[in-house]
Amino acid sequence: MIHPTAIINENVIIEPDVEIGPYSIVHSGVKIGSGTKIGSHCEIGVETELAKSKELNIGKNSIIRSHSVFYSGSSFGPNLITGHRVTIRENTVTGLNFQVGTLTDIQGDSEIGDYVRFHSNVHVGKGSKIYDFVWIFPYVVLTNDPHPPSETRSGIEINKYAVIATMSTVLPGVVIHEGALVGAHSLVNRDVLADTIVAGIPAKLIGPTSRIKLSGSKDVAAYPWRKHFHRGYPEDLVNAWKLEFGE
């Protein structure tokens, strides 16, 4: 299951049923969980001074698509799924079933919870904290330097179930509270209250997320999204969400 052209360095732990595609490279200090599939042309476990002698740990049953680059010193829970050409730098820790789209670039030192979903081409500045069930859409940038360039790092925090729509920038130190929605093409320069919508440049409060109705409906709210959107989540979780909303 390991292609003969894959280059596996010494000091790599590969559990059973792992596939590694053609022309991929696995550096020293990497542990790959059972059932994981790594595509072609990847570079896994790039060594860096910023994570010296630290292991890279990829959870079981993961899928890493072609041309992706992972640095040493990070740890991923089981069922990680990536698109193509993803970059994840050192000292990032993620929970279960993190999904991250093509071209996304995570700069390191971030904490990412369970069932977090990043779409294509998301840029996560160092030191971001992203909690369970957050969704981030394409071309969103999470920053961390309040007056670049400087030595100050002020990472952002995004809480459970929050959604950041495409092409939005979140400025350093901002906290986005649970269930909030940042509209497309927004610049978020202050904290966002739970279950509210903000949008614009700079982003302003639009109202409660419950104001947005499902397409084609006049009275069914589109948020909290976990009331109606269940694809890709385990059955027990979906059942808990149904109970939460009295279904």
* Contact set with its own copies (CB under 8 A): 7, 22-23, 25, 39-41, 43, 46, 66-67, 69, 83-85, 87, 102-103, 105, 107, 117, 120-121, 123, 135, 137-139, 141, 143, 146-152, 154, 163, 165-167, 169, 171, 184-185, 187, 200-201, 212, 214-215, 222-223, 225, 228-229, 231
The answer to whether 165 touches 184, Cβ cutoff 8 Å, is: yes
Find all residues with CB under 8 Å of 227, minimum gap 6, and list them.
Answer: 221, 241, 245
Q: Which amino acid is at 218?
A: K
Q: Which is nearer to its own copies, 53 or 217 (CB)?
A: 217
Smallest distance from its own copies to CB 94, Å:
19
Strands 204-208 and 196-199, bridge-based pairing = antiparallel
Backbone angles phi, psi at 130, to 5 degrees: -130, 120
Q: Which is nearer to its own copies, 15 or 204 (CB)?
A: 204
Q: Which is nearer to its own copies, 57 or 104 (CB)?
A: 104
Q: Which is nearer to its own copies, 53 or 215 (CB)?
A: 215
Smallest distance from its own copies to CB 141, Å:
5
Smallest distance from its own copies to CB 164, Å:
10
Smallest distance from its own copies to CB 5, Å:
8
Smallest distance from its own copies to CB 66, Å:
5
Residue 128 Cα distances to 21, 39, 120, 161, angstroms: 31, 27, 18, 16
**Peptide linkage before 202 cis (omega within 30 of 0):** yes
Give the bridge partners for 56, in sequence order: 30
